[in-house]
Structure 1
Amino acid sequence: MSDVARLAGVSIKTVSRVVNDEPGVHADTAERVLAAIERLGFRRNVGALNLRRGSSTGTIGLVLEDVANPFYSGLTRATEEVARRFGRQVLTGSSDEDPGRERELSLEFCARRVDGLIVVPAGARHGYLLPEIASGTPVVFVDRPPGDVLVDTVLVANVEGAATAVAHLARHGHRRIGFLGDAPAIYTAAERLRGFREGCTAAGVRYDERLVAMAPPSPAGVAEALARILGGPGPATALITGNNRITVLALRALAGVSTRPALVGFDDFELADLLDPPVSVVALDPAVLGKAAAELLFARLDGDDSPPRRIVLPVRLVPRGSGEVGP
């Protein structure tokens, strides 16, 4: 700052006033200071400024399962848009479904004094956040609930969505419906499997364990599960896939297969409407999820001290062709 003051021919206090948009500086003087700042490439230390003022650091933390997943990319973008409205930036990290990594990222963000934290949990134990919550850092869980803390949570209607998919396929005559889900320890995977079972009961469709596969998605694993579910005696004539990654892997495994099952995927994905046939899905715009979580967080930062909220966002069936064929 002293270099800027020397080049502009003013005092350090004048430079400080210009940098912090304080009144009392003549327009010509301010222009000279700004020109010196531009020439020297000066950047103020926001962290030091906030530390001195004892105010916001201007950041929030966002812990995701995988930032490369298009679903979470949409959630991240929506969070950033809300944060921008409140003059904040978003720090993001991927837990890779590792509870230890989730804890590490969350505490690292808190150590950097983020103003608040949004977490897609990988584990079920979140007591490590209690000291941060007690010290005034608001925390919102999104997509999955926390295991052992009571904080704001935004979820998706997973059970209802899977049951809707079963009812849709049953209306088109299917009585042998398979389900490909993620690892059963994951909250969303378990809830969607529960919705599948409840949907089978409601639609009068027999639930058959042999037509269900629950595992972390991989090309080989999905291909093997499909071979089992679609082959042998009493094969499935329709399939529900538990998330966008599984849907894409299933479509790759089915490429070139002459007789395909009817298909409804959970989560929409890019180009789903351009495939042949277009893929029917149970969808929720991830931007809605991110926006709801971020707005809850900023309400807390704005002083909302009401009891923790649990918001469950509805999903909708998008029929495009793959799920509208008979057995």
Structure 2
Amino acid sequence: MKDVAAHAGVGLKTVSRVVNGEPGVSQDTETRVRDSIVALGFRRNDSARLLRKGRTASIGLVLEDLADPFYAPLSRAVEEVARAYDTLLIHGSSAEDPVREQELALALCARRVDGLVIVPAGEDHRYLAPEIAAGVAIVFADRPPGLIEADAVLSGSFTGAHQGVTHLIEQGHRRIGFVGDRSVIHTARERLRGYHAAMEDAGLPVHESWVALGSTAPERVRASTTRLLDGPEPVTALFTGNNRVTVTVVRVLAEREEPVALVGFDDFELADLLSPPVTVVAQDPAQLGRTAAQMLFQRLEGAGGPARQVTLPTELVPRGSGEVPPSR
């Protein structure tokens, strides 16, 4: 900056005002300073400036898998909010591993990010308590934190599942199967709870053989779906717990002659172009990410008060597969 000031024939304070966009500099002087900046190849040291303010203008995002169609729009929305605040986003995938989640979160904190948005893989987040005490802002997305108080933005997994299963009941189905994710995952448990509540509200029993939880690996989902459809108490309709499960179930149903009704939780690409088009309970991952990031920056700008939990609504989107009547 001293070289720029000497080249432009102005004081250091004038150069600082121009660089930081502060008022009090005439147009001619600003032009002269900027010309000197270009001529000398001057670059502002943002790192030093931000560190003096106790901030690094960076945040972290820890999610399950960036390649997952659900998390891509969530990540993009967080990035857009961060960009509006002139903040860099650094993200990593936990692969649904609590140990990896902790390693990633603490590695980002060690690099002095100002805050974190976390889609948790684990259910014990006490390891973050020292970071929160040190001033790191943290917001959880899609799933709540475990054993600590922190802001969270969720989708209505229970109410969405209840609505989807109720829709199948309204089409005349009484034997409805549930194919979901692993029970250690909060959203999977909530959607299973919504399934049970809808069946109970309709006065319908649920046989143990109608519920299949486990990994989203296609071979597991295929085997579970086949068992539900061909077992001693075969189901006439299926409710699936997320888009990855739904895609495999669609493939299984396409191989069968007898129609089976299907409602899936989460929308997915080309769902409306299949035959029949897939009825879904849609959530908005972009809004989930956007809301979480906005809450994070509110905390970074000094918003106080107790931890908040925001639940975003889901929407039933009837397209055809959920309106197939019972065939047996």
Q: TM over 0.5, yes or no? A: yes
Structure 1 residue 237: deviation in Å? 0.9
Q: Give me the whole-angstrom Cα distance separating, in 1, the residues matched to 2:100 and 2:297.
A: 25
Mapped to 1, the partners of 2:108 and 2:135 lie a distance apart of 14
Q: Does 1:142 align with 2:157?
A: no
Structure 2 Cα separation of the partners of residues 230 and 43 of structure 1: 66
CA separation of 1:291 and 1:9: change in aligned 2, threshold 3 A = closer
Partner-residue secondary structure (3-state), 2:140: strand
The residue type paired with residue 159 of structure 2 is E
Residues 1:44 and 2:44 aligned together: yes
- 1:267 corresponds to: 266
1:248 corresponds to 2:240: no
Paired residue type of 2:45: N
> What amino acid sits opposite 1:103 in the alignment?
Q
Compared CA separation, residues 233 and 83, structure 1 to 2 (3 A)? same
Partner residue, 1:311: 310
User: In structure 2, what is the Cα distance between the partners aligned to 1:41 and 1:181?
Assistant: 58
Partner of 2:199: 200
Could you say what secondary structure the match of 1:180 adopts?
A: strand
Q: Show the counterpart of 2:289.
A: 290
For the Cα contact (< 8 Å) 2:263–2:322, is it kept in 1?
A: yes
Match of 1:124 in 2: 123
Cα distance in 2, alignment partners of residues 153 and 108 from structure 1: 21
Same amino acid, percent of matched pairs: 56
1:155 aligned residue = 154
Alignment match, 1:88: 87
CA contact (8 A) 1:222 1:253 kept: no
Distance, in Å, in 2 between the alignment partners of 1:115 and 1:224 is 45
Alignment of 1:57 onto 2:33 = no
1:70 match: secondary structure: coil
TM-score under structure 2 length normalisation: 0.90
CA distance in 2, matches of 1:111, 1:237: 52
Could you tell which deviates more after superposition, 222-231 or 286-295? 286-295
Counterpart of 1:174 in 2: which secondary structure? coil
C-alpha distance in 2, partners of 1:16/1:143?
Answer: 43
Residues 118 and 139 in structure 1, CA contact (< 8 A), matched pair in contact too: yes
Structure 1 portions without partners, runs of 5+: none
Q: Which residue of 2 aligns with 1:215?
A: 214
Distance, in Å, in 2 between the alignment partners of 1:16 and 1:111 is 30
Which residue identity does 1:181 align to in structure 2? G
Q: By how many angstroms is 1:117 displaced?
A: 1.3
Report the Cα offset of residue 260 of structure 1: 3.4
CA displacement 1:91-136 (0-9 Å, x = unmatched):
2111111111111111122122222211111101111111111122
Deviating more after overlay: 113-122 vs 17-26 = 17-26
Counterpart-to-counterpart distance in 1, 2:154 and 2:208? 27
Report if aligned partners of 1:166, 1:203 keep a CA contact under 8 Å in 2.
no
Secondary structure of 2:76 counterpart: helix
SS in 1 for 2:323: coil
Distance 1:263 1:83 in 2: 38
Shift of 1:164: 1.3
CA deviations 1:7-42 (Å, max 9, x no partner) are x56679365554333456564564455456557765
Q: Which runs of 5+ in 2 are unaligned?
A: none
Partner of 2:19: 19
The corresponding residue for 1:182 is 181
Indicate the residue corresponding to 1:114 in structure 2. 113
Cα 1:132–1:276, aligned 2, differ >3 Å: closer, same or farther?
same
CA RMSD, 1 decimal:
2.3
